[in-house]
Amino acid sequence: MEDLHQSWLAPANPKPIVIVGTGGIVRDAHLPAYQKAGLSVAGVTDIDKARAKDLAANWPVGTVFDTLKDAVAAHGTDVVYDVATPPHVIADIISELPDGAAVLIQKPMGSDQENARRIRAVCRDKKLKAAINFQLRFSPMMMAVKDMVTRGMLGELLEIEVHLNIYTPWQIFPFLIPMKRVELAVHSIHYLDTIRAIAGNPEGVFARTMRDPRAADFAQTRTSVILDYGDRLRGLMSINHNHQCGRKFQDAFFRFEGTGGTAMVKLGVCYDYPNGEADELWYCPDSGEWQQVPLEGSWFIDAFMGPMRNVQRFDAGEDETLYSSVEDAYGTMALVEACFEANQMPSQALVLD
C-alpha cells in the first residue's frame, strides 16, 4: 500500500507562473498549492483591478498587470499561464497568449461542448501546450486508485459507483444562479472526468439532472447518470446535494470493484462544505480484510499541485504527455454534453395492458 503512486513529480527547473483571474479558487486552492509545491508566481491580472491588488497585498504574486497584453509583453513564453476565469471567456483569453505558450486552464473547458470545441481550435492553431485543471484525477486518492487498476490489484474492473447524499450550501455560490447548467457542469464534471481517466470513454449515457425546492434558485442540484460501458463494466452516479438531516447518513464516496478486489474512496471535502473532512482510501482484496491506504495529501489543496507540475514538466520535455490535456479534456466535455442531451430524452413508458 505504501508505494502506490499518489503524486505528480515536481519539475526540475520550474518556470514562474502568471495567473489570469484572481477569484476565490485562486485564493483558496491555486496559490496555497503553488506555495506548497515551491512554485513562484511572477504576476497576476484581472479585469477587477481592486481584487487583483487585494490578492497581491496578501500573497507573494509579483507584478499586478493592468492587462493580459502587458503580462505577455513582459514575459512571453518564459512563464506558464494559469487561466482561472469564467468558462465563457476562456477562448478569447487564450487567443491573446503567445504561440507555443504553456497554459493551465481552469475547468470546465468552456460553458458547453461547442465552446470547448472553440477552445480546442485556438490551442491547436496557436500550438499551445495546454491542459485543463481537472484536478480530482490528480488527487492522491484517485492517483492511487488508478495505480491499483494499472497493477491489477482490483482484477477486471466491473463496477464504478459514485454516491453523494450530502448538504451543499449552494447559497455561497450566487454566480451559479443565472446558469442553466449547474450540477453536472460545475460539480459532477469532476467525477465524470475521473471515471474517464481510470476507465476510458463510455459508449453512451443515460441521465437525469434536476432542481430541488430546497435549493430553488439553482437549475439543478440532483443528478442520476448511468454510464454505458457495455455488458461487463457498470458505471453509475447518484448525486443529491440537499440532504438536510445531519451527518449520520450523509455519504460521498467512489466505489471501484473488480474481480480481484474493491477500493472505496471517501470524498472528504464534500462533508460540511467548505470545511470538509479528511479524504480516505480503503482497499480490500477478494476474501481479504479491509485496510486503509495512508494518503500523502487531500483533494483540496494537494491535487492542485499535480496539473501545474505536469504542464511544467511537459513544457520542459520531462513528461511525454499531458494527463489532462485539452485534447483529452474535450472528451469530458463531450460526456457532459451527452448527459445534458440524454436529460432531454423521454423515458421508456410503462406498458400496463
pLDDT, position 24: 86
The three grid cell numbers given for residue 63, joined into one nine-digit string: 507584478
What are the DSSP calls for 24-59, one per residue?
Answer: HHIIIIIHHHHHHHT--EEEEE-SSHHHHHHHHHHS
Q: What is the pLDDT of residues 17-45, one digit of tens each?
A: 999 999 889 999 999 999 999 999 999 99
- Mean of the pLDDT values across residues 267-276? 93
pLDDT, position 119: 98
Cα gap 308→326, rounded to integer Å: 14
Residue bearing the bigger pLDDT, 175 or 11: 11
pLDDT, position 173: 86
Cα gap 22→83, rounded to integer Å: 10
- Mean of the pLDDT values across residues 188-211? 97
Q: Is 38 left (phi over 0), alpha (psi -120 to 50) or beta?
A: left
Contacts of 209 (CB under 8 A, 6+ apart): 183, 184, 220, 222, 223, 224, 339, 340, 343
Backbone angles phi, psi at 210, to 5 degrees: -150, 165
Cα gap 121→124, rounded to integer Å: 5
Q: If one looks up domain 17-135+303-322 in CATH, what number appears?
A: 3.40.50.720
Cα gap 281→219, rounded to integer Å: 32
Is residue 1 scored above 80 in pLDDT? no
| For the chain, domain boundaries | 17-135+303-322, 140-298
- Mean of the pLDDT values across residues 223-235? 97
Exposed/middle/buried for 290, CB within 10 Å: 0-12, 13-18, 19+? exposed
Q: What is the pLDDT of residues 45-89, one digit of tens each?
A: 999 999 999 999 999 999 999 999 999 999 999 999 999 998 999
**Mean pLDDT value across the chain:** 96
Cα gap 266→247, rounded to integer Å: 14
> What does the DSSP 8-state code read for residue 184?
I
- Mean of the pLDDT values across residues 335-343? 97
- Mean of the pLDDT values across residues 260-288? 95
Cα gap 104→133, rounded to integer Å: 6
Residue bearing the bigger pLDDT, 323 or 176: 323
Contact between 34 and 16 under an 8 Å Cβ cutoff? The reply is no
The three grid cell numbers given for residue 303, joined into one nine-digit string: 491535487
> What does the DSSP 8-state code read for residue 273?
T
This prediction's pTM: 0.94
pLDDT, position 172: 87
What is the edge-to-edge ordering of all strands in the sheet holding 17-20? 63-65, 41-45, 17-20, 80-83, 102-105, 129-132
What are the DSSP calls for 118-158, one per residue?
Answer: HHHHHHHHHT-EEEE--GGGGSHHHHHHHHHHHHTTT-SEE
Architecture of domain 140-298: 2-Layer Sandwich (3.30)
Q: What is the pLDDT of residues 282-332, one digit of tens each?
A: 999 999 999 999 999 999 899 999 999 999 999 999 999 999 999 999 999
pLDDT, position 274: 85
Is residue 2 scored above 80 in pLDDT? no
